[in-house]
Amino acid sequence: MRLGSKVRRMSSSRKEHLDVTAGQFRHDLVSGAEVVDKRLISPTVYGLTLKVEDPNFGFHAGQWQVALVDFCIPGTNLVGGYSMCSAPDQLRTEGTLELAVKRSSWPPAVWIHQQCRVGSRVTLKAGGDFFFHPAPQDPARPLLLVAGGVGINPLVSILRHCRHLRAESRRTGAGYVPRPVELLYSARSRHELIFRDTIAKMADEGLVTANLFVTGNDVPANDTSCHNRRVSSWDVESAVARLGGAPLCYLCGPSAMVEAVEGCLLGRLRLNAADVRFERWW
């Protein structure tokens, strides 16, 4: 099974994307792409759909892409790395991929929020060692996905890929058959729980058990659809127990959250380090 590995990097407040990811795998292919849709999906997050020009461009579920937007901001050399939230099969069948970019003062995010329009052009390169790409003959493992904020992006890509793999295995009677997935997903407000409808649909389909957490104060007392607190080690231990132990784990979110969950998985639960995947951006 080819699965992404953990990448460790030096600590920094905001490292340049190319420095942070210098040691990671990149596909050689560079493709042009056009923004064909831009919509607000939360108070702080824009969703983008990109039409990719080169039919040979590809990526694995969970990977990031590099969007070179330097020609858009004269005098700067901006390279933004964002994880795809769409699955690879959308690229194969529709020629598009999806991103969800949170507002920040980082110049690529500023460009995407303020200047990028339908019709804007970017240059793409895919890469990253954090991905889920099982071979058809691989035995299925239970998956635990833990997301904080826009860290949900690569994990939604993985969920969508699981959905595609399940449909393919049902259609052909062969191939990789995903096991049920446990998702722990925390956001700072209810409105920042992006992809909530997508996740709910996949939960209805029996693909994922989703446990949602909101840490802000906008959760009505009678709302039972999410917990009004942080993800705790108890939540992590319970999810692993429901999966029957020894899952593959993918973590993506704020550094403190990822480190806390990693500590629980490797310390208290004694999982193998190779089964706990995340990218160390800090």
Ligand X SMILES: NC(=O)c1ccc[n+]([C@@H]2O[C@H](COP(=O)([O-])OP(=O)(O)OC[C@H]3O[C@@H](n4cnc5c(N)ncnc54)[C@H](O)[C@@H]3O)[C@@H](O)[C@H]2O)c1
Residues at the site binding ligand X, with contacts judged by CB under 6 A = 64, 83, 102, 148-151, 153-154, 186-188, 215, 230-231, 252-254, 256-257, 260, 279, 281
- Map residue 173 onto helix, strand or coil: coil
Q: By C-alpha distance, which of 151, 194, 184, 159 is closest to 45?
A: 194
Nearer CB in complex with ligand X: 178/253: 253
Nearer CB in complex with ligand X: 167/256: 256
Least distance in angstroms from the C-beta of 5 to ligand X: 13
Helices assigned H by DSSP within 21-151? 88-94, 107-110
Nearer CB in complex with ligand X: 83/90: 83
Nearer CB in complex with ligand X: 111/250: 250
Nearer CB in complex with ligand X: 208/226: 226
Q: By C-alpha distance, which of 271, 16, 54 is closest to 144?
A: 271
State which residue has the least CB distance to ligand X: 149
Least distance in angstroms from the C-beta of 170 to ligand X: 30
Tell me the helix, strand and coil percentages in the chain, rounded to 5.
30, 30, 40
Least distance in angstroms from the C-beta of 18 to ligand X: 15
Least distance in angstroms from the C-beta of 128 to ligand X: 7
Least distance in angstroms from the C-beta of 176 to ligand X: 23
Q: By C-alpha distance, which of 122, 126, 119 is closest to 108?
A: 122
- Map residue 255 onto helix, strand or coil: helix
Least distance in angstroms from the C-beta of 260 to ligand X: 5
DSSP state of 61: B
What is the sign of the dihedral through the CA atoms of 264, 21, 254 and 156? negative
Q: What is the largest CA-CA distance in the chain?
A: 55
Least distance in angstroms from the C-beta of 130 to ligand X: 6
Q: By C-alpha distance, which of 6, 1, 3 is closest to 262?
A: 6
Residue 162 near residue 169 (C-beta atoms within 8 A): no
**CA atoms of 112 and 114, how far apart (whole Å):** 6
